Amino acid sequence: MTEVNWDDKWRLGFHLMPPTGWLNDPNGLCQFQGIYHVFFQYSPDDPNGGTKYWGHYTSQDMLNWQYVGIALSPEEVFESHGVYSGSALVKDGKMNLYYTGNVKLDGDYDYIYEGRQGNTILVDSEDGVTFGRKKCLMTNADYPSHLSCHIRDPKVVTGESIGIEDENCYMFLGARTREDTGEVLLYKSGNLTDWELVNILKDKIPFGYMWECPDAFMLDGKKFLSISPQGVQQDGINYQNVYQSGYYEVTGSFDQEYQLERFKEWDRGFDFYAPQTFQDENGRRILIGWIGMPDEPSQTNPTVAQGWQNALTVPREIFLKEGKVMQYPVAELEKLRLSRHTFVSGCTSERRKMYDAEITVVSEDIKIVISEGIELVYDKTHEILTLSFDQEKNLGYGRNKRSVHLQSCEQIRILVDTSCLEIYLNGGEEVFTTRFYTEDGMSDFCVTEGDAKVTYWEMEGLHIDLSAL
């Protein structure tokens, strides 16, 4: 395994990142026996990605974390080319992990329509750290015949959690058809191992060629289906990333007749994909996403030279407010705040590696500049908020501009962590996540136009035990 470079100026402080190597999708998110578990797609020896394992972090409070090590490795024939994404179901005193075992057959195949196996695997644990024998539950032969080889990312939930009044559990599987449209397969089971197809969820108008990383949950009695569709065409300022992540509100029933209402993106930044949610023991619905973007040719991450790439968002609580799905950093993160500072428009903060800024907008328009090369601008006339990088400064390494429609901009919260920004608008009505890279891993910010009241705190990092490396 590559050695950790503790002097790396871009190493993140309060975001979970790979100890070394490559990280992508969050997997198996849950709270089990009082402990938070975050698994993640992991290639420990290659910052550009490679054979996928599951890495594993645990915490009692989402502030003090322990890297437990590699939880799942591709050891069996039915997962020989990678332990792909999946989820956790806590039931009957056990943690049940469901995931996709990726297999690429030898031969001259395209690996889309022929030559690939996406096997659905189950492994369980009584302590959340040691795992039993892996069971292959379904292979491509068990899936509907109209599908390509791309079937993956099982999310398993109880019927009660998605508004189905029975004792079955339900599995959502992302899929790509042979006609190149995305959809989600819905299975049910009464024993966690034998699964029956009960429905196929899709948009009335084809929306992308593949639906990855499905998730389903309820907020205040409303049902939601989250997906990461690939192949969606840009529509003005919408769908600007190479792949998207968002959600539908679902009317009707997941297992019977249903309607998928308007798709909305989770995050409008450059670096957000494959989110997963879970409900903790306090009843909060918490979302964590991957700070990264696969197959994006226009932007890079210079941390590759330091032996690692990508990270996970801070845990975000998601909830409904006035009919809108909101997302906001969990309250625990405020315990990382240190010294408090206030200033008004025209003043510039001190340069810090990590800080948390809360900005109350007094004027209609506002412009915030970070490290003289990143602009956050709200234009009330057009009701557009834009995050943009000065291309000459090269803080974005290929990232340029992203925008969102916003009726008003009243509150802005910016989490800044050495080489990552998470920007929350109006208490989480819209969010932008992006990587950025200053020369020394430090930054400052200033409200250069408009009137605002600013409070910011220097932040300390998470306490992470990496002794298992």
Q: Which residues are known catalytic residues?
A: 25
User: Residue 22: which residues within 8 A CB-CB, separation 6 or more?
Assistant: 42, 43, 44, 46, 47, 48, 49, 50, 308, 309, 310
Which H or E element spans position 266?
none
**Cα separation, 260 vs 435, whole angstroms:** 32
How far apart are alpha carbons 438 and 248 in whole angstroms?
37
Distance CA 41, CA 335 (A): 28
Length of the chain: 469
CA distances from 406 to 379, 411, 431 (A): 9, 12, 11
Identify any residues that bridge with 449 across adjacent strands, giving them in sequence order. Answer: 367
**One-letter amino acid for residue 108 of the chain:** D
> How many angstroms separate the CA atoms of 435 and 15, rounded?
12
Where on the phi/psi map is residue 295: left (φ > 0), alpha (ψ -120 to 50), or beta? left
10 Å Cβ neighbour count for 420?
Answer: 25
User: CA-to-CA distance for 121 and 343, rounded, in angstroms?
Assistant: 54
Pairing outcome for strands 21-32 and 308-309: parallel
Q: Six-digit token pair at 264?
A: 């909305």
DSSP state of 220: T
C-beta neighbour count of 48 within 10 angstroms: 10
